Amino acid sequence: MKPIALDAMGGDHAPRVTVEGALLAHKQGIPVVLVGQTSVLKQELKNQGGDLPIAEAPEYITMQDQATDVRKKRRASINICMELVKQTEASATVAMGHTGATLASALFGLGRIQGVDRPTLLIELPSEKGRTYLTDGGANVDCKPEWLVQFAVMATAYAQAQGVQNPSVGLLSIGEEEEKGNELTLQTFPLLKATPGIRFYGNVEGSDIFKGSTDIVVTDGFTGNVVLKLSEGEARTIFKWVREALSSGSVITRLGALLVRPALQGLRAKMDPAEYGAMPLLGVEGSVFIGHGSADGRAVHSAIRKAKSVVEASLVERVRAGIARLTG
Protein backbone atom coordinates (compact mmCIF):
# COMPACT_ATOMS: atom_id res chain seq x y z
CA MET A 1 0.00 0.00 0.00
CA LYS A 2 1.19 3.49 -0.93
CA PRO A 3 1.53 5.80 2.08
CA ILE A 4 -1.29 8.00 3.29
CA ALA A 5 -0.57 11.68 2.71
CA LEU A 6 -1.22 13.62 5.92
CA ASP A 7 -1.55 17.39 5.73
CA ALA A 8 0.75 17.88 8.70
CA MET A 9 0.20 21.66 8.79
CA GLY A 10 -3.60 21.62 9.05
CA GLY A 11 -5.83 21.97 12.11
CA ASP A 12 -5.67 23.98 15.32
CA HIS A 13 -2.76 22.12 16.92
CA ALA A 14 -0.48 21.30 13.98
CA PRO A 15 2.16 20.09 13.66
CA ARG A 16 2.22 18.63 17.19
CA VAL A 17 -0.93 16.50 16.98
CA THR A 18 -0.55 15.60 13.29
CA VAL A 19 2.96 14.24 13.90
CA GLU A 20 1.74 12.48 17.05
CA GLY A 21 -1.12 10.80 15.15
CA ALA A 22 1.14 9.85 12.26
CA LEU A 23 3.64 8.23 14.62
CA LEU A 24 0.86 6.22 16.29
CA ALA A 25 -0.30 4.99 12.88
CA HIS A 26 3.27 4.21 11.84
CA LYS A 27 3.72 2.04 14.93
CA GLN A 28 0.73 0.00 13.75
CA GLY A 29 2.40 -0.51 10.40
CA ILE A 30 0.39 2.04 8.42
CA PRO A 31 2.66 3.92 6.00
CA VAL A 32 2.29 7.71 6.30
CA VAL A 33 4.00 10.61 4.55
CA LEU A 34 3.92 13.97 6.33
CA VAL A 35 3.22 16.86 3.98
CA GLY A 36 4.40 20.33 5.01
CA GLN A 37 7.40 22.50 5.74
CA THR A 38 10.33 20.12 6.04
CA SER A 39 12.26 22.10 8.65
CA VAL A 40 9.22 22.47 10.93
CA LEU A 41 8.27 18.81 10.62
CA LYS A 42 11.84 17.58 11.15
CA GLN A 43 12.01 19.59 14.36
CA GLU A 44 8.66 18.22 15.55
CA LEU A 45 9.69 14.64 14.74
CA LYS A 46 12.86 15.20 16.71
CA ASN A 47 10.87 16.57 19.66
CA GLN A 48 8.67 13.49 19.65
CA GLY A 49 11.57 11.11 19.02
CA GLY A 50 10.23 9.65 15.77
CA ASP A 51 11.05 9.46 12.10
CA LEU A 52 8.76 9.57 9.09
CA PRO A 53 9.07 10.47 5.40
CA ILE A 54 8.29 14.10 4.56
CA ALA A 55 7.00 15.67 1.33
CA GLU A 56 7.94 19.34 1.18
CA ALA A 57 5.21 21.98 0.91
CA PRO A 58 6.42 25.55 1.45
CA GLU A 59 2.94 27.00 2.13
CA TYR A 60 -0.16 25.99 4.06
CA ILE A 61 -3.78 26.98 4.54
CA THR A 62 -4.71 28.58 7.86
CA MET A 63 -8.17 28.54 9.44
CA GLN A 64 -8.39 32.25 8.53
CA ASP A 65 -7.88 31.56 4.82
CA GLN A 66 -10.79 31.32 2.41
CA ALA A 67 -11.50 28.04 0.63
CA THR A 68 -10.57 29.70 -2.65
CA ASP A 69 -7.10 30.49 -1.30
CA VAL A 70 -6.05 26.98 -2.35
CA ARG A 71 -5.85 28.48 -5.85
CA LYS A 72 -3.51 31.24 -4.69
CA LYS A 73 -1.30 29.08 -2.50
CA ARG A 74 -0.52 26.50 -5.16
CA ARG A 75 2.21 24.88 -3.06
CA ALA A 76 0.06 24.64 0.07
CA SER A 77 0.39 21.34 1.94
CA ILE A 78 -3.21 20.32 1.19
CA ASN A 79 -2.62 20.80 -2.55
CA ILE A 80 0.57 18.72 -2.39
CA CYS A 81 -1.39 15.93 -0.67
CA MET A 82 -3.86 15.87 -3.56
CA GLU A 83 -1.02 15.94 -6.07
CA LEU A 84 0.57 12.88 -4.44
CA VAL A 85 -2.77 11.03 -4.61
CA LYS A 86 -3.31 12.10 -8.23
CA GLN A 87 0.15 10.79 -9.17
CA THR A 88 -0.55 7.58 -7.20
CA GLU A 89 2.38 8.38 -4.94
CA ALA A 90 -0.05 8.33 -2.03
CA SER A 91 -3.21 6.27 -1.53
CA ALA A 92 -5.30 8.86 0.32
CA THR A 93 -5.30 12.40 1.72
CA VAL A 94 -6.05 13.01 5.39
CA ALA A 95 -6.52 16.62 6.53
CA MET A 96 -7.66 18.02 9.86
CA GLY A 97 -9.57 21.21 9.79
CA HIS A 98 -10.42 23.54 6.96
CA THR A 99 -13.32 21.70 5.30
CA GLY A 100 -13.93 24.28 2.57
CA ALA A 101 -10.27 24.44 1.55
CA THR A 102 -9.90 20.66 1.52
CA LEU A 103 -13.02 20.35 -0.61
CA ALA A 104 -11.76 23.02 -3.02
CA SER A 105 -8.30 21.44 -3.16
CA ALA A 106 -9.78 18.00 -3.88
CA LEU A 107 -11.98 19.34 -6.68
CA PHE A 108 -9.06 21.28 -8.11
CA GLY A 109 -6.40 18.61 -7.70
CA LEU A 110 -8.33 15.37 -8.20
CA GLY A 111 -11.53 16.33 -9.98
CA ARG A 112 -14.93 14.71 -9.76
CA ILE A 113 -15.74 11.15 -10.66
CA GLN A 114 -17.54 11.10 -14.01
CA GLY A 115 -21.29 11.52 -13.51
CA VAL A 116 -20.99 13.13 -10.06
CA ASP A 117 -22.54 16.62 -9.89
CA ARG A 118 -21.34 17.42 -6.38
CA PRO A 119 -19.01 15.57 -4.03
CA THR A 120 -20.46 14.99 -0.58
CA LEU A 121 -19.14 14.88 2.97
CA LEU A 122 -20.28 11.82 4.85
CA ILE A 123 -20.73 11.97 8.63
CA GLU A 124 -20.80 9.04 11.04
CA LEU A 125 -22.98 9.30 14.11
CA PRO A 126 -23.32 6.70 16.86
CA SER A 127 -26.68 4.91 16.94
CA GLU A 128 -28.45 2.22 18.91
CA LYS A 129 -27.71 -0.18 16.04
CA GLY A 130 -24.05 0.82 15.72
CA ARG A 131 -23.73 3.87 13.54
CA THR A 132 -25.65 6.05 11.13
CA TYR A 133 -23.99 7.41 7.98
CA LEU A 134 -25.36 10.85 7.16
CA THR A 135 -24.90 12.62 3.85
CA ASP A 136 -24.48 15.53 3.06
CA GLY A 137 -22.59 16.86 6.07
CA GLY A 138 -22.21 20.41 4.82
CA ALA A 139 -20.48 20.45 1.45
CA ASN A 140 -23.63 21.46 -0.45
CA VAL A 141 -26.06 23.74 1.37
CA ASP A 142 -28.72 24.15 -1.32
CA CYS A 143 -29.29 20.88 -3.13
CA LYS A 144 -31.13 19.52 -6.14
CA PRO A 145 -33.05 16.23 -5.88
CA GLU A 146 -30.63 14.54 -8.30
CA TRP A 147 -27.71 15.38 -6.04
CA LEU A 148 -29.40 13.72 -3.07
CA VAL A 149 -29.83 10.60 -5.18
CA GLN A 150 -26.09 10.63 -5.98
CA PHE A 151 -25.31 11.13 -2.27
CA ALA A 152 -27.40 8.04 -1.50
CA VAL A 153 -25.53 5.99 -4.09
CA MET A 154 -22.11 7.16 -2.87
CA ALA A 155 -23.00 6.59 0.78
CA THR A 156 -24.19 3.10 -0.10
CA ALA A 157 -20.80 2.40 -1.70
CA TYR A 158 -19.06 3.75 1.40
CA ALA A 159 -21.15 1.73 3.84
CA GLN A 160 -20.48 -1.41 1.80
CA ALA A 161 -16.75 -0.63 1.82
CA GLN A 162 -17.07 -0.45 5.62
CA GLY A 163 -18.62 -3.90 5.67
CA VAL A 164 -22.34 -3.10 5.90
CA GLN A 165 -24.30 -5.65 3.86
CA ASN A 166 -27.11 -4.18 1.77
CA PRO A 167 -27.32 -0.86 3.66
CA SER A 168 -30.72 0.82 3.94
CA VAL A 169 -31.22 4.46 2.95
CA GLY A 170 -33.65 6.86 4.64
CA LEU A 171 -34.60 10.31 3.39
CA LEU A 172 -34.58 12.81 6.27
CA SER A 173 -37.95 14.50 6.50
CA ILE A 174 -40.61 15.61 8.99
CA GLY A 175 -42.91 12.60 8.79
CA GLU A 176 -42.81 8.99 7.64
CA GLU A 177 -45.44 9.35 4.94
CA GLU A 178 -44.32 9.99 1.37
CA GLU A 179 -46.34 13.21 1.19
CA LYS A 180 -44.66 14.74 4.28
CA GLY A 181 -41.67 17.00 3.70
CA ASN A 182 -40.41 20.13 2.01
CA GLU A 183 -40.13 20.78 -1.72
CA LEU A 184 -36.73 19.11 -1.92
CA THR A 185 -37.71 15.88 -0.14
CA LEU A 186 -41.05 15.62 -1.98
CA GLN A 187 -39.18 15.72 -5.29
CA THR A 188 -36.41 13.42 -4.08
CA PHE A 189 -38.64 10.65 -2.69
CA PRO A 190 -39.84 9.20 -6.04
CA LEU A 191 -36.32 9.46 -7.50
CA LEU A 192 -34.82 7.47 -4.63
CA LYS A 193 -37.61 4.92 -4.94
CA ALA A 194 -36.63 4.35 -8.57
CA THR A 195 -32.85 4.29 -8.02
CA PRO A 196 -31.13 0.97 -8.83
CA GLY A 197 -28.51 -0.41 -6.46
CA ILE A 198 -29.76 1.20 -3.26
CA ARG A 199 -32.19 -0.11 -0.65
CA PHE A 200 -34.58 2.77 -0.09
CA TYR A 201 -36.51 2.61 3.18
CA GLY A 202 -38.58 5.79 2.77
CA ASN A 203 -38.70 8.90 4.90
CA VAL A 204 -37.07 9.00 8.33
CA GLU A 205 -37.31 11.70 11.01
CA GLY A 206 -34.79 13.36 13.28
CA SER A 207 -35.56 10.80 15.98
CA ASP A 208 -34.49 7.95 13.69
CA ILE A 209 -30.85 9.08 13.46
CA PHE A 210 -29.79 7.91 16.94
CA LYS A 211 -32.31 5.09 16.92
CA GLY A 212 -30.53 3.74 13.85
CA SER A 213 -33.69 3.05 11.82
CA THR A 214 -31.60 3.05 8.63
CA ASP A 215 -27.88 2.64 7.95
CA ILE A 216 -27.78 5.78 5.83
CA VAL A 217 -29.66 9.07 6.15
CA VAL A 218 -29.73 11.43 3.17
CA THR A 219 -30.36 15.17 3.45
CA ASP A 220 -29.15 18.50 2.11
CA GLY A 221 -25.86 19.89 3.47
CA PHE A 222 -27.53 22.66 5.46
CA THR A 223 -29.72 20.29 7.45
CA GLY A 224 -26.89 17.74 7.65
CA ASN A 225 -24.49 20.27 9.12
CA VAL A 226 -27.08 21.39 11.67
CA VAL A 227 -27.64 17.73 12.60
CA LEU A 228 -23.90 17.14 13.01
CA LYS A 229 -23.29 20.16 15.22
CA LEU A 230 -26.49 19.77 17.22
CA SER A 231 -25.81 16.12 17.97
CA GLU A 232 -22.25 16.82 19.11
CA GLY A 233 -23.36 19.82 21.15
CA GLU A 234 -26.22 17.99 22.82
CA ALA A 235 -24.00 15.06 23.82
CA ARG A 236 -21.49 17.51 25.28
CA THR A 237 -24.19 19.29 27.27
CA ILE A 238 -25.81 16.10 28.58
CA PHE A 239 -22.47 14.67 29.75
CA LYS A 240 -21.68 17.99 31.40
CA TRP A 241 -25.00 17.82 33.22
CA VAL A 242 -24.36 14.22 34.23
CA ARG A 243 -20.97 15.23 35.66
CA GLU A 244 -22.52 18.16 37.51
CA ALA A 245 -25.42 16.08 38.83
CA LEU A 246 -22.99 13.47 40.16
CA SER A 247 -20.46 15.86 41.66
CA SER A 248 -22.81 18.35 43.29
CA GLY A 249 -25.07 15.87 45.03
CA SER A 250 -24.98 14.40 48.52
CA VAL A 251 -22.04 12.42 49.91
CA ILE A 252 -23.86 9.25 48.84
CA THR A 253 -24.23 10.51 45.26
CA ARG A 254 -20.57 11.49 45.14
CA LEU A 255 -19.52 8.07 46.43
CA GLY A 256 -21.73 6.43 43.79
CA ALA A 257 -20.24 8.72 41.16
CA LEU A 258 -16.78 7.41 42.00
CA LEU A 259 -17.94 3.84 41.52
CA VAL A 260 -19.69 4.41 38.18
CA ARG A 261 -17.01 6.62 36.68
CA PRO A 262 -15.29 3.93 34.57
CA ALA A 263 -18.60 2.78 33.08
CA LEU A 264 -19.55 6.34 32.14
CA GLN A 265 -16.13 7.03 30.65
CA GLY A 266 -16.59 4.06 28.34
CA LEU A 267 -19.89 5.52 27.21
CA ARG A 268 -18.37 8.93 26.71
CA ALA A 269 -15.83 7.44 24.34
CA LYS A 270 -18.65 5.93 22.28
CA MET A 271 -20.04 9.44 21.73
CA ASP A 272 -16.66 11.04 21.09
CA PRO A 273 -16.21 12.40 17.56
CA ALA A 274 -12.50 11.57 17.90
CA GLU A 275 -13.44 7.89 17.81
CA TYR A 276 -14.94 8.37 14.38
CA GLY A 277 -11.86 10.23 13.27
CA ALA A 278 -12.80 11.88 10.02
CA MET A 279 -15.43 12.36 7.35
CA PRO A 280 -14.81 10.97 3.88
CA LEU A 281 -15.30 13.26 0.91
CA LEU A 282 -17.10 11.11 -1.66
CA GLY A 283 -17.30 11.72 -5.40
CA VAL A 284 -13.76 12.87 -6.15
CA GLU A 285 -11.10 10.84 -7.95
CA GLY A 286 -9.25 9.77 -4.83
CA SER A 287 -9.75 8.96 -1.15
CA VAL A 288 -9.98 12.11 0.95
CA PHE A 289 -10.73 12.37 4.68
CA ILE A 290 -11.42 15.53 6.65
CA GLY A 291 -11.14 15.58 10.43
CA HIS A 292 -11.97 18.10 13.13
CA GLY A 293 -9.72 21.15 13.28
CA SER A 294 -9.58 20.65 17.05
CA ALA A 295 -8.41 17.03 16.69
CA ASP A 296 -5.88 15.58 19.11
CA GLY A 297 -3.24 12.97 18.22
CA ARG A 298 -5.66 10.13 18.87
CA ALA A 299 -8.22 11.61 16.46
CA VAL A 300 -5.54 12.06 13.79
CA HIS A 301 -4.58 8.43 14.31
CA SER A 302 -8.26 7.34 13.94
CA ALA A 303 -8.52 9.35 10.74
CA ILE A 304 -5.46 7.66 9.25
CA ARG A 305 -6.72 4.22 10.28
CA LYS A 306 -10.08 4.94 8.68
CA ALA A 307 -8.44 6.11 5.46
CA LYS A 308 -6.43 2.89 5.33
CA SER A 309 -9.48 0.65 5.74
CA VAL A 310 -11.34 2.50 3.02
CA VAL A 311 -8.45 2.39 0.56
CA GLU A 312 -8.12 -1.35 1.12
CA ALA A 313 -11.83 -1.75 0.44
CA SER A 314 -11.50 -0.01 -2.97
CA LEU A 315 -13.79 2.90 -2.07
CA VAL A 316 -13.19 5.02 -5.14
CA GLU A 317 -13.82 2.08 -7.50
CA ARG A 318 -17.06 1.30 -5.64
CA VAL A 319 -18.29 4.88 -5.89
CA ARG A 320 -17.39 4.96 -9.58
CA ALA A 321 -19.33 1.75 -10.20
CA GLY A 322 -22.38 3.00 -8.28
CA ILE A 323 -22.52 6.28 -10.18
CA ALA A 324 -21.97 4.50 -13.52
CA ARG A 325 -24.98 2.25 -12.77
CA LEU A 326 -27.02 5.36 -12.01
CA THR A 327 -26.20 7.15 -15.24
CA GLY A 328 -26.88 3.97 -17.18
Using CB under 8 A as the binding rule, whether residue 120 contacts a second copy is answered as no
CB 65 to a second copy: min, Å: 13
Using CB under 8 A as the binding rule, whether residue 67 contacts a second copy is answered as no
Using CB under 8 A as the binding rule, whether residue 232 contacts a second copy is answered as yes
CB 229 to a second copy: min, Å: 3
The enclosing H or E element of 237 equals: helix 221-247
d(CA 300, CA 306): 10
Using CB under 8 A as the binding rule, whether residue 88 contacts a second copy is answered as no
Sheet architecture: strand order including 130-135: 54-56, 32-36, 4-7, 92-96, 287-291, 278-282, 120-127, 130-135, 216-218, 168-172, 199-204
Q: Which is nearer to a second copy, 69 or 285 (CB)?
A: 69
Enumerate residues 182-221 that contact a second copy by CB under 8 A: 182-183, 185, 205-211, 219-221
The enclosing H or E element of 189 equals: helix 183-193
Residue 69: cis peptide before it, omega within 30 degrees of 0: no
Contact 95, 289 (CB under 8 A): yes
Using CB under 8 A as the binding rule, whether residue 68 contacts a second copy is answered as no
- Rounded to 5 degrees, φ, ψ at 159 are -60, -40
Using CB under 8 A as the binding rule, whether residue 249 contacts a second copy is answered as yes
Q: What is the CA radius of gyration of the chain?
A: 20
Using CB under 8 A as the binding rule, whether residue 281 contacts a second copy is answered as no
Q: How many Cα atoms are found within 13 Å in the side-chain-facing hemisphere of 70?
A: 23
Which of 25, 228, 295, 326 is close enough to bind a second copy by CB under 8 A?
228
* Segment contacting a second copy by CB under 8 A, of 7-15, 56-64, 85-93, 228-236: 228-236
* Segment contacting a second copy by CB under 8 A, of 5-13, 72-80, 105-113, 176-184: 176-184
Size of the site for a second copy (CB under 8 A): 60
Using CB under 8 A as the binding rule, whether residue 256 contacts a second copy is answered as yes
d(CA 175, CA 59): 49
Using CB under 8 A as the binding rule, whether residue 63 contacts a second copy is answered as no
d(CA 88, CA 90): 5
Contacts of 226 (CB under 8 A, 6+ apart): none
* Segment contacting a second copy by CB under 8 A, of 5-13, 15-23, 264-272, 289-297: 264-272
Using CB under 8 A as the binding rule, whether residue 237 contacts a second copy is answered as yes
Using CB under 8 A as the binding rule, whether residue 177 contacts a second copy is answered as no
Query: Residues interacting with a second copy, by CB under 8 A?
Result: 127-128, 138, 141-142, 172-174, 181-183, 185, 205-211, 219-223, 225-238, 240-242, 245-246, 249, 252-253, 255-264, 266-267, 270-271
